[in-house]
Structure 1
Amino acid sequence: MKFIYGKQDWKSFERGEENCYLMTNGLGGFSSLTMIGSCGRNDHAVLMACVHSPNHRYNMIHRLEEILCIGAERIHISSQAYEKPADREEGYLWQTEFSYEDYPQWTYLAKGVEVVRTIVLMQGENSVGISYEIRNSSGEEVSLEVYPHLQFVPKGNLLSKEQKFTVELLCAKPVKAQGDIADGERDESTVGEHGVKAAEVKGRIAANGQTLHFQTNGEFEELPLNFSENLYYAYDACDGRRETGRTAVNHCMKIAVPSGAIGRLWMVYGISTNLPGVEEMTENMREHRKELREQADFRNETAQVLVQSAHQFISYRSSTAKQTILAGFPFFEDWGRDTMIAMVGCCLATRRYETAESILQTFMTYCRKGLMPNLFPEGKESPGYNTVDASLLFILAVYEYYRRTQDSILVKSAYQTMKEIISWYEKGTEYGIKMDEDGLIMAGQDYDQVTWMDVRVGEILPTPRHGKPVEINAYWYNALCIMNEFRKFYPEDEKDYARMAGKVKESFGQFWNEEAGCLKDVISGTKADNQIRCNQIWAVSLPFSVLPQQREKQVVEMVFRKLYTPYGLRTLDPADEEFHAFYGGPQLERDLAYHQGTVWVFPLGGYYLAYLKVHGYSEEAKQYVDRQLESINAALREGCIGQLPEIYDGGSPVSSKGCFAQAWSVGEILRVYDALRS
């Protein structure tokens, strides 16, 4: 699917910064700018390189400043906001199109000169390719000047004015002439690609312990180091983050294009000494994304887009030498809970079984006292284990993997780990996780938040779910049922999983809120118990039913009535006195709203799967869900193009917020499309 935007989509500068693109390289690095080519966040970058996968990122090339010279006139075709409105670059006024399919492309038209900019990112490398095609019908000679704005700082850091940059040229040689020049004669000794004077230049830039290599066919000019101050980031300002930034400029790439000629300027930057060519990078992206679509084999075009989106979260992890899933861009790293939820859609629904196996093997290695890591170690740091659901979701993920592949070898290798999880949960492990006498799981203590609603603000717990959370016990029941099925691989295991599951099912009735006609969110003896939240949907959507069919239908109906939106489920009933309709502002305000009504995309997958289940996966039910999913096409055009975000406002979910691309949002919707084709 090709996303195409026109001038009506950037009627103002502010409108032009509403949407951005994302390309990732499978190492944790990425490229992301707005559709008018600006940086609307300090985490936007032409090249965000990852020097140690997947989380040690450096913002190497933050943005591009581009000036088109027509005769004596100098026109900015680049766009960027600055703290002082008078300093703003307003190239969007000359922009005629933005498109994104396998890579982003911008088109500008200024006084008879058309410029098309393309940015590509190489898979498996920290390299970015930038190219410009200039069609000169102005009647005058024109030139394009490109000034890369550098930072060379860890992601999110502010560039210091004390930072030094060094530039070293390694070679500069003429390029043989190619292409045509209209209304002029070709000088084979000096005319370069597409009839424009050019030389192939290679060099490197060093700063802050990092080195960036480059090559170009354009004219390279080293400049005195200049710091550009007070770039303004509207999407950080609205969330109370650092709203201004600084960049450094120390060189320029140029190309001159005679009247009537077509010129092409390209440049490649990367942290490796052996840089690929732009054409190689472009073909790499096209072929790679095509292979992903073909492997997943979805017929639905929206699902095909999501397949490509899902791949953007999969990354190599140096510490384990295996694959992992990054929770979201531009903020999050790889977390255990998010990985287990996202993997089913991002890997299994897309038929990337080897990737799924790699991830599961990694988690088995790090299991401790029945707990899967919520945060993987970096360097000498120890993993973080503050999650009650990751271990149970691991068992569910193994089951989903086996259901699709019938790979008993993995099940057998994971069996001991799964058995230990059950044993530790039964007798008790860290963070107050323990099976109560009624068979239900208790979790959470003191200030430890161990479910996905895990916000803590100092001594404030906005969503205190200590006790027996509803979705955790649904996971627990399903894990026991799965272990009962998997006992066929280890008949010597004497554990009576069926008896344990039966006790849980009997006790699960405590969650039923007869007055509301739905499930309690938690059993804790507090007012939080009877809050209507989206967590109850997973008690229905999971493969093994812990509720009678009639109550399952009641849950689905209540969730639709109180919490459903086409873009996600609200985390709290709007009628609740603690409901927050708006997410934004300083971190404290955001955290207090995060799970108190804010719409999350990923539970929508559970809702649709639950709807299909209670309606027997009938054709009528499938058609209904397929029609409801049409709203996803609108979501894919807003925010991060081709991606699904983390959250929306709870009151009126019209603009994506939080991470502009979230793995479990994409994965859970892919699970629904996978169910629709079965």
Structure 2
Amino acid sequence: MELVEIGALQVVVFLFSFSGMDYDTGIGREWLVPNGIGGYASSTIIAANSRKYHGLLVSAMDPPLGRRVLLAGIDETLRFGCESLELSVHKYPDTVYPQGFLHLASFRMENFPTFIYEASGLRVEKTVFMVHGANAVFIEYSVVNPDSIECEILLRPMVTNRDFHTTRRREDHSFETLTSEAGCEVFDRENIVLGLASDKAVFLKDESWYYNVEYDHDRVRGLDYQEDIYSPGYFTLPLTSGASFSIVASTPAYGYDTSALKDACRSWREIKEDEIVRRKKLVERAGVTSVFGEKLVLAADTFIVQRNGDKSVLAGYHWFSDWARDAMISLTGLTLVTKRFKDARGILSTFAKNTVEGLMPNRFTETGGGREYGGADAPLWFIHASGEYLKQTMDSKFVRERLWKTIKSIISWYRKGTRGVHSDYDGLIVSSSHMTWMDAKIGDWIVTPREGKACEINALWYNALRIAEEMARLFGDEDNESTYHELAEIVRESYSKFWNETEECLFDVLSEDGADDSIRPNQIFAASLPHRPISIEKARRIVDVVERVLFTPFGLRTLSPSSPNYRGRYEGDVVSRDSAYHQGTVWPWLLGHFITAYLNTHGRNEQSLKQMRKLLSPFEEHLSDAGLGSISEVFDGDPPQRPGGCAFQAWSVAEILRAYKELG
């Protein structure tokens, strides 16, 4: 990782040398370029797709969802008379062919991924960038041929048309390709799938198929990992004098229609510069002063997407949609500390207007515009996020007009009961077993059953009541102010039931079967939230226990290693991974709340701040691993804490960025 200057802006460049790089090492690092509406381009640093989710154009057909892999990649071949040299990389059963990474001199990631190949006296530089707000990707090529070697380049698009959760075979497709002035149009069963064009290269129709392409990461994860891919032909361009040109791929749905492709291709330099300027402004607005901070701000931008005229948050790439829980937990880090207040309003509005009987969509479904309701914590995180928005913006008008009704409705429904959530006689919230964030379920097996009164749900409930009380006072709503105050007092008194005197921390869940004394990180929220239902002395003891038992360099374990149910490795197929998901696996987002809880209980003095800043150091190195420039969803509970899950996770980035800003 190195630092370069672009105007007044310092930009982090991830630079990798490929001397001796092998295939397995190369697919261990992934890059991703989002388009702001849910689509993206993504692959590995050796340009080998290791997931079915990888592709140069993954389009959001119903933004931010309905994602389909349209352009899986482009095969590049240098032709010298009768000899050819291939720069691409594919995995087939028991073989990797071709092995273009052997000609890859370096990879760098500034704003966009850039591959530099050196072969037979030529230097080929390829950069991938997307149009913000459109399902369109540009692949820019710059070729230097100092000795004027007679050579041409052949660029063969690899096209598929499928939901990005699936794979397909040749018999599942029905493609037709029509050449045009711009390049070509690929149709699938009467619908335009893809338009392809180049500003200089000429397209020649030459249909072919790639059979049994494999995706190694999916194979390891126990998913479908083989498919057949169609190619409509190839673009070609002589390189004897070198060249600088581009190829654009787009779909008419939220992208360029075919008539606009050629003009767009001619303007690729301006389009690229516009996106660089947009990103630069994000960094400047956030007011960060370090390389680490700049990368976190740009990483945060990855997850903020358009939804029906408002905004939302994709929980993680590559496979998650927008989830209420993840969006609300992430909102402060993604939008408030970065001063993206308009986006914050859009996100809050999206989930406020999708609230039904006090609950928010656990997630939006990938297709069909559906919503799945079920999380007991998401509405309470919504009230917390609304309170943070009000605190940082003083925008009482928006909160009163757009959010206050929803906040009152949530509290009302929780008190009388709704869909597996209700307030008990003691004021505490009771929820079903799969309604907390620890919600892994395999068939009928609930891996982490937490039915009853969960400690974090009730810490959030108390916090929400106090925030609502403050808002009611601000808005002159005396009746609700009094109601929320009285209920909060009852909840605070009842919360003492969670105290585990033996372990000097909180029970995880209270139920009819007794108290669950599993040591989990859920108790940290009782010490980190703005309004805490416990004394400062007990909060300090919680922090001490969590630090001693659950802390790792990349976050908090979800279960004490001394528990018989502890699973220290997050690996294998779906069953193996889900059985470890909340049973010891480390989650980085929890570290943000640990840091805040530590400062709340140990003071915000220079010694505490310095000690907490050190906890962020491992993530500076991690930005060059797994998902480049981002933070993974999870890590192993056991050393050396290997990254896993989504390589680009919203709340991981958001909470580390929020903590970074809090530490100053």
CA contact (8 A) 1:425 1:434 kept: yes
SS at 2:409 equivalent: helix
**Identity across aligned pairs (percent)?**
34
On the 8 A contact 1:33/1:45 being kept in 2, the answer is: yes
Q: 2-side partners of 1:517 and 1:101: how far apart?
A: 48
* Equivalences for residues 236-255 of structure 1 within 5 A: 236-255=218-237
Residue identity opposite 2:283 in structure 1? R
Name the aligned partner's letter for residue 485 of structure 1.
Answer: E
- Asked whether the 8 Å contact 1:388–1:451 carries over to 2, the reply is yes
1:215 aligned partner, one-letter code? A
- Report the secondary structure of 2:222's partner residue: coil
The answer on 1:51 being equivalent to 2:41 is: no
Deviations 1:384-439 (A, max 9, x none): 220101111111011000000001112212222212211211121211x1111122
1:542, CA displacement in angstroms? Answer: 0.4
Question: Which consecutive unaligned segments of at least 5 residues does structure 1 have?
Answer: 172-200
Looking at structure 1, the residues matched to 525 and 411 of structure 2 have their Cα atoms a distance apart, in angstroms, of 20
Partner of 1:632 in structure 2? 619
Correspondence 1:595-610 to 2 at 5 A? 595-610=582-597
Residue 600 of structure 2 corresponds to 613
User: Is the aligned partner of 1:373 residue 2:382?
Assistant: no
**Residues 170 and 229 in structure 2, CA contact (< 8 A), matched pair in contact too:** no
Cα distance in 1, alignment partners of residues 20 and 48 from structure 2: 12
- CA deviation vs aligned residue, 1:119-147 (integer Å, no higher than 9, x gap): 11010111110111111135621222111
Alpha-carbon shift at residue 169 of structure 1 (Å):
2.8
Letter in 1 for 2:209: F
Does residue 561 of structure 2 align to residue 580 of structure 1? Answer: no
Instruction: Establish whether residue 217 from structure 1 lines up as the match of residue 199 from structure 2.
Output: yes
- The alignment status of 1:509 with 2:492, answered yes or no, reads no
Cα displacement (A) at 1:66? 1.1
Matched, 1:464 2:449: yes
Q: CA deviation at 1:251?
A: 1.2
Q: 2:113 aligns with which of 104, 128, 132?
A: 104
Q: 2 CA distance for matches of 1:225 and 1:285? A: 34
Question: For the Cα contact (< 8 Å) 1:581–1:650, is it kept in 2?
Answer: yes
Rounded Cα–Cα distance in structure 2 between residues aligned with 1:352 and 1:381: 27
Partner of 1:337: 325
Change (3 A) 1:252 1:8: closer
- Per the alignment, residue 416 of structure 1 pairs with 405
Correspondence list, 1:214-613, <5 A: 214-258=196-240, 261-271=241-251, 272-273=256-257, 274-275=260-261, 276=264, 277-318=267-308, 321-376=309-364, 382-413=370-401, 414-431=403-420, 433-444=421-432, 449-488=434-473, 489-494=475-480, 495-524=482-511, 526=513, 529-613=516-600
Does the 8 A contact of 2:66 with 2:367 survive in 1? no
Q: 2:94 aligns with which of 84, 87, 97?
A: 84
For normalisation by structure 1, the TM-score amounts to: 0.91
**Alignment partner of 1:149 out of 158, 167, 174:** 158
SS at match of 1:131: strand
The Cα of 1:362 is off from its aligned counterpart by 2.1
Q: Deviations over 1:443-499 (max 9, x none)?
A: 10xxx5111111111221110000000100000110111111112213342442222
Q: Deviations over 1:571-591 (max 9, x none)?
A: 111111001111122211111
Runs (4+) of structure 1 exceeding 4 A deviation are 377-382, 525-528
- Whether contact under 8 Å (1:9, 1:16) holds in the other structure is no
Report the Cα distance in structure 2 between the residues aligned to 1:528 and 1:241, rounded to whole angstroms: 38
Selected match of 1:130 from 112, 126, 139? 139
Q: Please give the alpha-carbon distance, in whole angstroms, between the structure 2 residues aligned to 1:612 and 1:317.
A: 36
Please give the root-mean-square deviation of Cα atoms over the aligned residues, in Å. 1.8
Which segment is superposed worse, 204-213 or 641-650?
A: 204-213
Once the two structures are TM-superposed, the CA of residue 330 in structure 1 deviates from its matched residue by 0.5
In 2, the alpha carbon distance for the partners of 1:345 and 1:646 equals 16
TM-score (norm 2): 0.93
Return the letter of the residue paired with 2:438. M
Cα distance between partner residues in 2 of 1:4 and 1:666: 18
Q: Give the equivalent residue in structure 2 for 1:6.
A: 16
Distance 1:527 1:279 in 2: 65
Secondary structure at 2:597 match in 1? helix
SS in 1 for 2:533: coil
Deviation at 1:167, TM superposition (A): 2.3
Q: Which is richer in strand?
A: 2
Contact 2:202-2:237 within 8 A present in 1 as well: no
Distance in structure 1 (CA, Å) of the matches to 2:41 and 2:568: 32
- The farther-off stretch of 606-615 and 570-579 is 606-615
Separation in structure 1 between the aligned mates of residue 249 and residue 504 of structure 2, nearest angstrom: 59
The 8 Å contact of residues 370 and 391 in structure 1, kept in 2 or not, is answered as: yes
Q: Alpha carbons of 1:27 and 1:385: their partners in 2 closer, same or farther (altered >3 Å)? A: same
